[in-house]
Chain A
Amino acid sequence: MNPWDKSVRSTPSKRSAERPWPKLLTRPTVPMPVVGQERAAAPIATGSEWTMPILEKFDAALIRHAQRNGLVTFPVQYEVITADQMLDLCSTVGMPVHYAHWSFGKHLVSQERGYRKGLSGLAYEIVINTNPSLVYLMETNTLALQVLVMAHAAYGHNAFFRNNYLFQQFTQPDAILDYLKFANGYVLDCEQRYGWREVEKTLDCCHSLSSYGVDRYRKPKSLSARRESERLAERLRFAERHFNPDYAYLFEKPKQAEGSEEAVPFEPQENLLYFIEKRAPKLAPWQRELVRIVRKVAQYFYPQRLTKVANEGAATFWHYTLLHDLYDAGQVDDGFMLEWLSNHSDVVAQPSFDAKHYHGINPYALGFAIYRDIRRICQQPTGEDREWFPQLAGRDWRESIHFAMANFKDESMIEQYLSPKVMREMRLFLLHDDEEDRSVYAVKAIHNDQGYMRVRQSLAAQYRPEFFQPTIVVARDGADHDRALLLQHRVESGRLLDADSASDVLKHAQTLWKFDVVLEEIDAEGNRLKIHRT
């Protein structure tokens, strides 16, 4: 029995008697996948032991089901690794090559400790957006878990990486590993030439600004390690060949005529690191390269930050679907199903807001619920669905899912697809934290008809990057006499910057800029609310 119902019954009150929602549905309403005609005579494997040939057989089976479901993916390369290697990987945001930095070591030692003490488990899987896609399987996983990981990562995530517009626009899966190898070598080289302290200092500064090293709208130029090396070598050659202090003035850019700067007003720029790389007055060339590396890496990870719910939801939905397909085809047995379902339900568990282990909305749970509901709406629409989702009701569910995977990020997906039913099941409600009264949160809307749109919009807004990351722009060219860099924080609904972290970050920015850095907080009307200086 659901504990919520019990507690409701035990404390009958007037208010709970008029609760506006129907009784919780106890039975899942998503239909099981259609039973296939052909059934295998015996499961591919039973028990929890696995071998490479067994995994290959499972992959062959998964390919078939994935193709039947119309999944388009990059080719896959599985790598079987140990727990220690998994720890290593986790410490470098999953990338098998990365430049060396102490912060990765910090993550490593803290994760290591948690893992050794049994406080935290390890990630089951890591998948990297490369072509071919790298999927890491940990050796300690059981057979059911390995197959779960394969379906989740090698087909779910992989298909998302391949088809989602953000990934197509902002990442180059063909080039990233080569680029990181180049970055690794370059950082090592710099450490040898300029000393590790200097290199670390520069990287620290870049890291603190890395969320602002991203082009959010422009398609970045494609990555290529070879081109980067060539560019550097060419620049060095040119400098060596042509440098002569007597004639240096010949190569200086012609000064612009007075007043022409007035003619072209400075446009605010959002890519801070790009601006610093190009315009910082006194940065050494190798430091500019480091800035560039950090912003390229940040750019590569940018889509992942925008698609947590959509990406994890798709992967979870597809492992759920593909593994059920395996079951329907008689390729796995009941024990296998029970085992991965148990893991699956841990992954998609959503503790309620007042539970002890509540850590925000679980992207797996929300994403999975949304995708699963898209399928339900397509296959078994209710009147409510026809009203809200006329474009989905009765359509081919595979097409609709692929469309949802390809064309949305978290914000827009929630805005488009969060159905009243999912909202009821997750019991979402909207709170307002007002500056006037900090002692309480006011409940603004709940999952009823009147509240639906409002909760949905607010939840979508919660996944806007501006919600969790203040908007900062470079507001003035630092070319005037004091060469100060002017940054502006575009304040939304009165939310100011945390002063301590702002002053730390400004110090880092100043280290790169080498002159004063000023950060103004400006509201929508252009009033200056606060000013931070280094």
Chain B
Amino acid sequence: MSDLVAPNRYMRIVDRRADPPGRGTVNRERFVRRFKDEIKRAADDEFAKRSIKDVGRGGRITIPGRGLKEPYLHHDDETGDRDFVLPGNREFIPGDTIKRPQGGSGKGGDGDEPGTGEGRDEFGFVLSRDEFLSLFFDDLELPNLERTRFGEVTMERSRRAGYSRDGSPGNLSPAMTVRMSIARRIALRGAINRRLAELEEERAGANPARCIEIDEEFERLVRRRDSLPFLEDVDRRYRSRAPMPAPATRAVMLCLMDVSGSMDEHKKDLAKRFFALLYLFLERKYGQVEVVFVRHTEKAEEVDEQTFFYDPQSGGTLVLPALQLAHQIIEERYTGEQWNVYIAQASDGDCGLDDGRQSANYADEELMPVVRYFAYVDIPSVTGWFVRPSDLWQSYEAIASPAFARRQVRARSDIWPVFRELFARKEATA
């Protein structure tokens, strides 16, 4: 069969499957770069819909199709006369008429015109996680996420570190001990045997007095050789554990939010962004982060995320019960060294001075010792150009712990700088 192949003809099958991804990525980047504004807007809408735990995932977004148009010249089907041929005639003969289908000129018989993107109102596609994150944080001008370290927490954890000669009886390693014992006995027996051989040699050419001495030593050595102890103190080996620094691996984030009537949608959105950002940081650091939502008016309750952000509630504001509830939750569920507890509180800071003072006290004395970090974002009501520091803001001034930080946020673009500031300070003092 091969002789039929023309000599100048060659055939090759190249396996390209392992090639690195190339142009597709380049063009995709260009697409995202070009429609950044639209995509960002869509990503923002998507953000509002998502749980803060899902913000970091990729997903489908839809952007308006207007800017995507690649215009080209084509006929207006509403003008002029046109003949066209269609397939599948079942019943028509010349002279018949067919009702024009509704929905314009869809049946024009010109199915394959270029630029099919045109005219569609919406254009949907899927963004990857990285694209999504970079868009989401673009407003926030996120610098290098990886390099930011904050609240670096380590705990000591003992690790296996070989064997040691001493330790508590509970750590005795029988296998290792017996092995050492065997080694010891082999070594000693060898040494004795060598000595015996020497003595025997010496005895061959020795005088009688020396012979008796040699015999005695010989006998002593044989006795000793045969009664080598099975275990001696030097054989004992203990499993050794050395303390090593290890990062605490579990984290919980308590979101505290004031949901009284004065917290409007805008403020809640800012709070949600802040929580989501904190969640992303913690997730990168710890892998898995538990989130607890505590909302409060004049009384505090633990709720799910949907209720937390979107259930309207009205009432006065008391901060203290929320802090107490947070403390209670920590005590019940998140005590112990392995838990890194973070509290993020968002409020418009509208509370009574008395409550503020008590809250500050409580936070300083009860909460701060058990949490890694307590971040308070104050979202003040903007009334005119004069912004008065809120009551809670003023009260929290009393908290002295370096693990506490408070910042004011007014607009979305404030969130990232605030975030950086919050944790930069921590880094400086840590």
Residues of A within 8 A of B (CB): 4, 7-8, 15-16, 19-20, 52, 55-56, 59-61, 63-64, 67, 75-82, 84-85, 87-88, 91-92, 97-98, 100-110, 112-113, 116, 132, 137, 139, 196, 200, 204, 207-208, 211-212, 308, 350-355, 358-361, 363, 426-435, 438-447, 450-451, 455, 458-459, 461-462, 467-470, 472, 489, 491-499, 501-502, 504-505, 508
The one of B71, B78, B110, B126 that contacts A109, using a Cβ cutoff of 8 Å: B126
Q: Among B34, B83, B85, B91, which residue has its beta carbon within 8 angstroms of that of A15?
A: B91
Contact of B112 among A97, A360, A451 (CB under 8 A): A360
* Cβ contacts A to B, 25 pairs, < 8 Å: A16-B91, A63-B4, A64-B4, A76-B12, A80-B16, A85-B17, A88-B23, A106-B68, A106-B117, A110-B117, A113-B125, A113-B126, A200-B34, A207-B70, A352-B88, A353-B107, A361-B109, A435-B79, A439-B100, A440-B97, A446-B93, A451-B94, A462-B110, A493-B80, A497-B75
Give the nearest-CB partner of B78 in chain A.
A438
Interface stretch, picked from B25-33, B296-304, B379-387, is B25-33
Are A81 and B88 CB-contacts (below 8 A) given A358-B107, A439-B99, A496-B75? no
Which 8 A-B residue pairs are closest in the complex by CB-CB distance? A352-B88, A360-B111, A105-B31, A495-B80, A494-B80, A88-B24, A504-B71, A105-B27
Q: Of A75, A361, A501, which contacts B111 at CB under 8 A?
A: A361
Q: Are A446 and B109 in contact (CB under 8 A)?
A: no
B126 A116 Cβ-Cβ under 8 A: yes
Per the bound structure, the CA–CA distance linking A468 and B97 in Å amounts to 24
Return chain B residues, CB-CB under 8 Å to A431.
83-86, 98
B306 on the A face (CB < 8 A): no
Given contacts A105-B30, A428-B89, A433-B100, 19 further A-B contacts (CB under 8 A): A79-B14, A80-B16, A101-B30, A109-B125, A200-B34, A211-B114, A353-B89, A355-B88, A428-B86, A429-B85, A430-B84, A431-B84, A444-B94, A447-B89, A458-B84, A458-B85, A462-B83, A497-B75, A501-B74
Say yes or no: B82 contacts A495, CB within 8 Å: yes
Complex Cα gap A496–B11 (Å): 51
Chain B residue with the shortest CB-CB distance to A109: B125
The distance in angstroms between the C-alpha atoms of A82 and B86, with both chains bound, is 37
Contact residues of B between 22 and 52, Cβ < 8 Å to A: 22-24, 26-35
Residues of B within 8 A of A139 (CB): 17
B103 contacts A by Cβ under 8 Å: no
Residue of B nearest to A441 (CB): B98
A470 touches B112 (CB 8 A): no
- B201 within 8 A of partner (CB): no
Q: Are B85 and A428 in contact (CB under 8 A)?
A: yes
> Taking the complex as formed, is B87 at the interface, i.e. its CB lies under 8 A from any CB of chain A?
yes
> What residue of chain B has the Cβ atom nearest to residue A470's Cβ?
B73
Residues of A within 8 A of B100 (CB): 433, 438-441
Q: Is the CB of A360 within 8 A of B9?
A: no
Interface size class of B (residues with CB under 8 A): 35 or more
Q: Quick check: A440 and B99 within 8 Å, CB to CB?
A: yes
Nearest residue, chain B, Cβ from A191:
B30
Closest chain B CB from A513 CB (angstroms)? 16
How far, in angstroms, from A103 to B33 measured CA to CA in the complex? 12
Question: In the complex, how many angstroms separate the beta carbon of B67 from the nearest chain A beta carbon?
Answer: 10
A208 touches B70 (CB 8 A): yes
- Asked if A495 and B75 make an inter-chain contact with CB atoms under 8 angstroms apart, the answer reads yes
Q: Is B205 an interface residue (CB 8 A)?
A: no
Chain B residues closer than 8 Å to A64, beta-carbon distance: 1, 4
Contact residues in B for A446 (Cβ distance below 8 Å): 89, 92-94
> Which residue of chain A has its CB nearest to the CB of B31?
A105
List chain B residues, Cβ under 8 A from A308: 112
CB distance from A511 to the nearest CB of B (A): 12
Chain B residue, CB-CB nearest to A73: B9
Q: Which residues of chain A are near B96, meaning CB under 8 Å?
A: 442-443
| Bound CA–CA A494/B34 (angstroms) | 38
B146: CB under 8 A from chain A? no
Q: How far is the CB of A459 from chain B (nearest CB, A)?
A: 4
Residues of B within 8 A of A8 (CB): 90
Q: Which residue of B lies closest to A430 (CB)?
A: B85
Which residues of A have CB within 8 Å of B82? 432-433, 493, 495
Instruction: Point out the residues of chain A lying under 8 angstroms from B2, CB to CB.
Output: 60
Q: How many A-B residue pairs have CB under 8 A?
A: 294
Per-residue interface assignment for chain B, residues 188 to 215, with 1 indicating a CB less than 8 Å from any chain A CB and 0 otherwise = 0000000000000000000000000000
Given contacts A433-B81, A462-B85, contact A112 B125 (CB under 8 A): yes
Q: Are B109 and A443 in contact (CB under 8 A)?
A: no
- Chain B residues with Cβ under 8 A from A354's Cβ? 88
**Assembly CA distance A80 to B78 (angstroms):** 47
Instruction: Establish whether residues B21 and A84, one from each chain, have CB atoms under 8 Å apart when the complex forms.
Output: yes
**A498 near B74: Cβ-Cβ < 8 Å:** yes
* B145 interface contact, C-beta 8 A: no
Report the Cα distance A20→B29, complex, angstroms.
59
Q: Tell me whether A501 and B83 are in contact (CB under 8 A).
A: no
1/0 contact string of B95-135 vs chain A (CB within 8 Å): 11111100000010111111001100001111000000000
B81 contacts A432, CB within 8 Å?
Answer: yes
CB distance from A533 to the nearest CB of B (A): 15
User: What CA separation (Å) do A499 and B78 show in the bound complex?
Assistant: 11
Q: How far is the CA of A110 from the CA of B90 in the complex (A)?
A: 36
Which B residues are in CB contact (< 8 Å) with A98? 23
The CA-CA distance from A109 to B126 in the complex, in Å, is 7
> Considering only CB atoms, which chain B residue lies closest to A530 in the complex?
B79
Asked if B226 CB lies within 8 Å of chain A CBs, one says: no
Output the least CB separation between B112 and chain A (Å): 6
Least Cβ–Cβ distance between B345 and chain A, in angstroms? 40
Whether B75 lies near A498 (C-beta < 8 A) is: yes
CA distance A496 to B78 in the complex (A): 9
Q: Are B88 and A60 in contact (CB under 8 A)?
A: no
A308, B6: Cα distance in complex, Å: 30
Tell me, in angstroms, the Cα distance from A435 to B35 when the chains sit together: 40
Q: Given the known A-B contacts A78-B14, A432-B81, A468-B110, are A441 and B94 also in contact in the complex, defined by CB atoms under 8 Å?
A: no
- Taking a contact as CB atoms under 8 Å apart, the answer to whether B118 and A501 are in contact is yes
**Which residue of chain A lies nearest to B83 when distances are taken between CB atoms in the complex?**
A458
Per the 8 Å Cβ criterion, residues 313-356 of B in contact with A are none
A63 to B, closest residue via Cβ: B5
Q: Do A432 and B75 touch (CB < 8 A)?
A: no
B80: min CB distance to chain A, Å: 3
Question: Contacts A76-B11, A200-B34, A446-B94 given: A105-B29 contact, CB under 8 Å?
Answer: yes
Q: How far is the CA of A504 from the CA of B72 in the complex (A)?
A: 8
For the complex, is B13 an interface residue (Cβ under 8 Å from A)? yes
- Is the beta-carbon distance between B23 and A100 smaller than 8 angstroms? yes
CA distance A401 to B114 in the complex (A): 30
Q: Are B13 and A56 touching (Cβ within 8 A)?
A: yes
Complex Cα spacing A200 to B125, Å: 22
- Interface check B60, CB cutoff 8 A: yes
- B80 in complex: contacting residue of A15, A496, A499, CB < 8 Å: A496
How far in angstroms is the closest Cβ of chain B from A355? Answer: 7
Contact A84 B24 (CB under 8 A): yes
Inter-chain CA distance A358–B70, complex, in Å, is 25
B311 at interface, CB cutoff 8 A: no
Provide the residues of chain B in CB contact with A504, threshold 8 Å: 69, 71
Does B27 lie within 8 Å of A361, measured CB to CB? no
| B73 and A502 contact, CB distance less than 8 A | yes
Q: Does B230 contact A (CB under 8 A)?
A: no
The yes or no answer to B233 lying at the interface (CB within 8 A) is no
A22 to chain B, nearest CB (A): 14
Interface pair A56/B11, CB less than 8 Å apart: yes
Question: B12: nearest residue on chain A (CB-CB)?
Answer: A77
What is the bound-complex CA distance between A110 and B113, given in angstroms?
Answer: 17
Determine if A59 and B85 form an interchain contact, defined as CB atoms under 8 angstroms apart: no
Complex Cα spacing A85 to B33, Å? 22
A427-B90, A435-B81 known; A67-B4 Cβ under 8 A: yes
The answer to whether A109 touches B85, judged by C-beta atoms less than 8 angstroms apart, is no
Complex contact B73–A497 (CB within 8 A)? yes
Complex CA gap A351/B90 in Å reads 12
Interface pair B73/A104, CB less than 8 Å apart: no
B87–A461 contact, CB under 8 A? no
Judging by beta carbons under 8 Å apart, are B74 and A20 in contact? no
Q: Is the Cβ of B27 less than 8 Å from the Cβ of A80? A: no
The smallest C-beta distance from B400 to any residue of chain A, in angstroms, reads: 51
